[in-house]
Amino acid sequence: MSAQRRIEAFFILADRGLRSANTLFREGQLEDTALFIQQVVERVARALLTHAGVQFGTSHNLDQMANSLPAGHAFNERIRTFDRYSPAVTAFRYPTSTGRLQPPPSIAELRKALEEVEQLVRDAKLHVYGPTGDVRPVGRE
């Protein structure tokens, strides 16, 4: 798969994840909302890493992704601000070793994070495609 197709695919997945996150938030499934916020940011980070020509492994850690972007990259700090959601990949999907479920972030925190992640997706697309660019569906030719 070409780098451009991979970038487009990551943005399509980010858009899908945003829809899921917003649906889950409206339904009060806060733990899953946090997970999808992490997934959206991860997909944006992977698109930006691919755009920058940076190979990145299978880690889901947003701080590591931010650190892997080139020094001075416009999105280093923005990706890093979402690192608090990195643990959501496992924290809300599995009980602790004692059988407890982790409490979700607050409604107010998730509402703010959803707004910020929506802006992140828009800004990242603008960064990659410019003001007139858009993502076309991948695999639907």
Write down the pLDDT at residue 139: 44
Other residues' Cβ atoms within 10 Å of the Cβ of residue 124: 25
- For the cut 60, the answer to whether the pLDDT of residue 24 exceeds it is yes
Q: What is the pTM of this model?
A: 0.91
The amino acid at 41: V
Write down the pLDDT at residue 134: 59
Report the alpha-carbon distance of residue 87 to residue 84 in Å, rounded.
Answer: 7
Picking from 23, 24, 32, 18, the residue whose alpha carbon sits closest to that of residue 118 is 18
Report the alpha-carbon distance of residue 141 to residue 127 in Å, rounded.
Answer: 25
- Residue 105 pLDDT class (50, 70, 90 cuts): very high
Domains of the chain: 3-129 (1.20.120.330)
